[in-house]
Amino acid sequence: MTNAVLESAIREQLNRLPLERQQQVLDFARSLVDARPRGVSGKQLLTFAGAIPKDDLADISQAISEGCGRIDDRDW
């Protein structure tokens, strides 16, 4: 889809909305432009490498393997 086609489709849909909804679209578009990635770099996380003992990691891995795919019909 070309930029002109996309702009036309957006404009068409925008014109069908009431003014209040158009303002919401504008606010959302601005939030996308202003959005900055959150979090930290992977390099910063390397300081935590090895912080969890291997035995604990094995227990966690086993619990995940055993618990994944199970559905509790009585839960939400």
Mean residue pLDDT of the chain comes to 89
pLDDT in tens, 30-45: 999 988 878 888 899 9
pLDDT at 8: 94
Written as one letter, the residue type at 29 is A
In Å, how far are 30, 42, 46 from 33, measured between CA atoms?
5, 24, 30
d(CA 6, CA 21): 19
